Amino acid sequence: MTQKYQIDYIEFPSSDIAATKLFFGSAFGWSFTGYGPSYEAINDAGIDGGIDGGDTRTAATLAVIRTGDIEQAERDVVAAGGVITMPAYDFPGGRRFHFRAPGGIELAVWIATE
């Protein structure tokens, strides 16, 4: 049976992407793929991830959950008591929204569009 929701991406906020890349590369041997001036995908980390230096980045590390139906995921999150903090938006390769779960944890849900 395939899981309906699975954590498959982790995103680190950074106020200095260059320094964060240098640290992760030096400490862990990770490499990176740039997606503009404020985002770097992390390669070779054992889980897909990224470094977000954008103005709307989260304050803490963000776990991102993959789904096959983003509209249903949004309904499920709200029905369970979650609060949408960033409405669904498109990005290269997908679409996602952010939410806050009871207790204050911020997470995101995404779907691949390519």
Check pLDDT > 60 for residue 1.
no
Please write the tens of the pLDDT for every residue from 7-35.
999 999 999 999 999 999 999 999 999 99
Rounded-to-integer distance, Cα 98 and Cα 114, Å: 20
Domains identified in the chain and CATH numbers: 6-112 (3.10.180.10)
Rounded-to-integer distance, Cα 42 and Cα 15, Å: 16
Rounded-to-integer distance, Cα 95 and Cα 97, Å: 7
Rounded-to-integer distance, Cα 6 and Cα 40, Å: 22
This prediction has a pTM of 0.88
- pLDDT band with cut points at 50, 70 and 90 for residue 2: low
Rounded-to-integer distance, Cα 52 and Cα 37, Å: 10
Please write the tens of the pLDDT for every residue from 98-108.
999 999 999 99
